Amino acid sequence: MPSPAARLLPPALRPWLGAVLISFSGVWVRLADVEVARSAFLRGAYALPLLALLVAVRAWGTPGPRQWLQPMALLAGAFLGLDLLAWHASIGIVGAGLGTVLPNLQVVFVGLIGVAVFAERPRASFWGALPVVLAGVWLLAAFGRPVTADGPVWLGIGLGVVTAVLYSLVLVVLRLARAHRSGASAPEVLWSLTLGAAVVTGASALVQGVAAPAGWPADGYLLLLAIGSQVVGWLLLTTSIHRLPAAATSVALLLQPVLALVWGGLLLAEPVGPAQLAGAGVVLVGVTLAHRSLREVVVSAGSGPPAR
């Protein structure tokens, strides 16, 4: 059963609108311009009341008992919390555009985990995609330019790769969660996922003394991030992307990072020259090749563009 937000739109438009909304995530993070732990925590804290309302509405309209907390999704949320801390830090160094390209490497890491843990056998093209991806990451690290003085480019690129690794763990745990309890709705899963992330990011924010609201206009940008990207965008995307044919799924996968590069250049004046575009393009080509080799694995894990 689709979420209330999803039912307002024709099915064919849902994944595309979801990808567009998620593509603004890095922009909202940069415009908020607050500490990494504060932004990572508040986006979850601001999303939780709306998610609780969606779960309650669904429970009211569905017969039978509802389980508010999904233990495996909570565990996935803990990884998501670490993922968000790494990702927001990466954005602070390399910007919303390049910082959003790198997490798409999760497709590759999901495939590698599938081989190592689930004894899956991807097509040969998956292995051919790996050197392409590595070449793209090297180009970004070698020729990328920082958008702030928070750290060297190689650190921002490294944090982006760590983000992809952590998000692949989120997807794998969610895959196990679906195998354990396949009847959970998307709002129920996202509620537990966000709660787990908020606990981890909240602990980090408390230790650093930055768990309080940031003040206006930063809180406004974080509300846009929480509601537009994390709740509405994620629900639209994950409840509909599996309906797309393989070719369209690959396009939806690419739409979010490509738009993030566009928004970073147009709205934030981020320095994206030919070398950075080449590196980002090579990474996305490798990701697309890997995705087409692993479509059944990736879609069953709940993937598409990273849910940011």
Fill in the DSSP letter of residue 216.
T
Percent of the chain with pLDDT over 70: 82
* Residue 257 CB neighbours (<10 A): 27
Question: What are φ and ψ of residue 167, in 5° steps?
Answer: -70, -30
What integer pLDDT is reported at residue 300 of this predicted model? Answer: 42
pLDDT bucket at 243, cuts 50 / 70 / 90: low
Per-domain boundaries in the chain: 11-300
pLDDT bucket at 10, cuts 50 / 70 / 90: low
Angle at 37 between CA 32 and CA 40, to 5 degrees: 65
What integer pLDDT is reported at residue 143 of this predicted model? Answer: 75
Residues 177, 182, 187, 190, Cα dihedral to 10°: 10
CB 12 within 8 A of CB 241: no
Helices (H), 120-245: 124-143, 153-180, 186-208, 218-223, 234-238
Q: Which residue has the tokens 């983000």?
A: 163
For residues 77 and 88, give the distance between their C-alpha atoms in angstroms, rounded to a whole number.
16
For residues 151 and 165, give the distance between their C-alpha atoms in angstroms, rounded to a whole number.
21
What integer pLDDT is reported at residue 175 of this predicted model? Answer: 81
pLDDT at 35 over 50: yes
For residues 88 and 37, give the distance between their C-alpha atoms in angstroms, rounded to a whole number.
8
* Full-model pTM: 0.87
pLDDT digits (tens, 9 = 90+) for 55-100: 888 777 566 556 677 888 899 999 999 999 999 999 999 899 888 8
Pick the more confident residue, 255 or 92: 92
Average pLDDT taken over every residue of the chain: 83
What integer pLDDT is reported at residue 296 of this predicted model? Answer: 47
pLDDT at 231 over 80: yes
